[in-house]
Amino acid sequence: MILLNYSISMKFTEKINKDRLSAFLKHLENKNFSGNSDETFGKCLMILKTLLYTSSDFIPDNTLSTQSNIQTFLYSINFDVIEPDHLIKLKSILDQAADFDVYARYIESILNKNNKSLNSVLMTLWTQLGSNVLRLPIIILEKTIKVNPLIFEKTILSTVLLWEVNDLIDICSKSPLVFQTCSSIFNELLIKLNFTNKFMEFLNYFVNGVGSRCIENNIDIADIYPNRCRSILTLRDIKNKNSTLVKEHDINDEVKKLALDYPKESICLLSHFPDLYISY
């Protein structure tokens, strides 16, 4: 932290000349250091090198506190243009002073690069943030599902064990991808646990919660399910509102087709809406 404070507190009276800074860094890299000074020099060099990736408008303000300048520095970093090796090293700087929003940008950049060498630091970050990962913007959670689904699955399993699903319920009501991914994970658990009452209780809580959030946000719950399930849910909704328009056998026929063509999806749908199972 002291080294970071010192590096950011260096007096600049104008915007950083990145060409001059780059040349200066090359000169420093040719220097030979040994012992403890070598480690300190390396860290200082990394911080200075990171200045190359900051916004062109970044100027440390000597009228502000060191902490404020550090936050401005971290917010000005363009993580997307940083090479993977330096991005990994950068985490040690972030761990000293970064807030949640900076970590969110850092994680999004790692996901955008989709580089296997970054998987380890992504896993470390994910563990470090714990349940707070569910506070990340939905677009980041969706990218995580596409790039590294195992990390996301780990988070979902943790929420099940701790029964801390309120944040997840809110996200699922807004993102079909997150909802369908969670439903798929829960479906596998349901089968492995042999439809135990405890897990059915959890699933009922989850589905009802998502349904309530959808109503609050004026979202048709059918829209967050896979396309192949939506016709059944639409028919179910119409029947519940006006039973003369849709007959029970109409729904039964659709459920039977789904069960034959997509068994896992049918188990998911029937476990979410037991009244369909009764009809079936």
What DSSP string runs through 222-236?
GGGS-HHHHHHHHHH
Does 107 map to a domain?
A: yes
Instruction: Give the confidence band of 34 by pLDDT, cuts at 50, 70, 90.
Output: low
Does 270 map to a domain?
A: no
Does 141 map to a domain?
A: yes
**131: domain range?**
81-145
Does 121 map to a domain?
A: yes
Measured in whole angstroms, the distance separating CA 92 from the mean position of its chain's CA atoms is 21
Res 123 pLDDT > 50:
yes
Q: What is the pLDDT of residues 71-89, one digit of tens each?
A: 888 888 999 999 999 899 8
Q: What is the pLDDT of residues 254-265, one digit of tens each?
A: 999 999 999 999
Res 245: pLDDT: 79
Res 115: pLDDT: 92
Res 54: pLDDT: 78
Res 43 pLDDT > 90:
no
Quick one: DSSP state of residue 134?
G
Instruction: Give the confidence band of 39 by pLDDT, cuts at 50, 70, 90.
Output: low
Quote the tokens at residue 7: 């590096």
Res 185 pLDDT > 60:
yes
- CA 259/CA 255 separation, integer angstroms: 6
Does 128 map to a domain?
A: yes
Number of compact structural domains in the chain? 1
Does 138 map to a domain?
A: yes
Rg (CA), the chain: 26
